[in-house]
Structure 1
Amino acid sequence: MTPRFDVIGLVVSDMAASLAFYRRLGLVFPEGAENEPHVEAGLPGGLRLALDTEDTVRSFHAGWQPPSGGGRASLAFRCEDPAEVDSVYGELVGAGHHGELEPWDAFWGMRYAVVHDPDGNGVDLFAPLPGGPAPAQ
């Protein structure tokens, strides 16, 4: 038997704010989940994104504290085309989320941008540029 990658989990400070952010990126969470301690959304390919409140984590790990300093992980969302990278970035920043890196044409052949979710996690937005790399299958 081999373990199977199944869930990406994030600890969130404000469930409602996090749900609003990820819903803007197209993820579907149950209606009325804003006051729940644990919420999941299905992802393409069968994975799940799980959001747990800080209190939920402390319920089984009493000494847990949010990390300080910069993050070492990010989530990346593929957009349909370079214009959608710009559009989604503008929508998220316009809704008050921190824009870490404005959209730019990266040397590796993609339009790229980075926005922070409500807890400061980096969320990359990307799309291949015309003539850029072919999508991975």
Structure 2
Amino acid sequence: MTRTIFISLPVTDLAASTAFYQALGFERNPRMSDEASACMAWSEAIQLMLVTHAKWRTFTQRPFPPAGTSGLMLSLAMDGREAVDAIQRAAAAHGGQADANPPEDFGFMVSRDLADPDGHLWATFWMDPEATPAHA
């Protein structure tokens, strides 16, 4: 089996979250989805499992983080600056928050963070490896 990462996220509204991630470019895998979860593919190796709170409780009994807090941020490499901007517009238009943190532009790299409808954070970035400053 190919090494694959499955990221599981608890969501309050499965249908709305599925539509949100589809708007960002994730593809729903119906074979791995049901009434309590949606498998959303970013690539062949990166799968996002959106799960209802009830299904999440079958994974763990640990408490949900308080609203407005974050325990992690996932990052998505984009094809260019316009792709970074486009995914931010899609997030804002589909119930998420664009620029959940201040955007950064280092010339060789741009980064903009978004939050999904449940507040899960995603960094979207583009970097030109040829223009990356040399590290000492």
Does TM-score exceed 0.5, indicating one fold?
Answer: yes
Q: Is the 8 A contact 2:40 2:48 kept in 1?
A: yes
- 1:8-19 equivalences in 2 (<5 Å): 8-19=7-18
Match of 1:105 in 2: 105
Q: Is the 8 A contact 1:85 1:103 kept in 2?
A: no
Amino acid at match of 1:105: D
Amino acid at match of 1:104: E
Match of 1:73 in 2: 72
Deviations 1:21-44 (A, max 9, x none): 21112111146x997102213443
Q: CA separation in 2, counterparts of 1:6 and 1:72? A: 18
Aligned residues: 128
Q: CA separation in 2, counterparts of 1:78 and 1:86? A: 12
Match of 1:93 in 2: 92
Residue segments in structure 1 that go unaligned for 5+ positions in a row: none
Q: CA separation in 1, counterparts of 2:59 and 2:85? A: 41
Amino acid at match of 2:49: A
Amino acid at match of 2:63: Q
Q: Is the 8 A contact 1:86 1:103 kept in 2?
A: no
* Alpha-carbon distance, 1:65 to partner: 3.4
Deviations 1:69-128 (A, max 9, x none): 521212222221112211221232233422213543147x31110110111011111111
Q: Is the 8 A contact 2:112 2:124 kept in 1?
A: yes
TM-score by length of 1: 0.74
Greater CA deviation, 38-47 or 113-122?
Answer: 38-47
* Secondary structure, counterpart of 2:27 in structure 1: coil
Q: Is the 8 A contact 2:24 2:90 kept in 1?
A: no
Residue segments in structure 2 that go unaligned for 5+ positions in a row: none
Q: Which has the higher helix share?
A: 1
* Alpha-carbon distance, 1:15 to partner: 0.6
**Do residues 57 (structure 1) and 59 (structure 2) align?**
no
Runs of 4+ in 1 over 2 A off after TM superposition: 41-48, 57-61, 101-104, 129-134
Shift of the 90–42 alpha-carbon distance from structure 1 to 2, 3 Å rule, reads: closer
* Secondary structure, counterpart of 1:44 in structure 2: coil
* Alpha-carbon distance, 1:51 to partner: 1.4
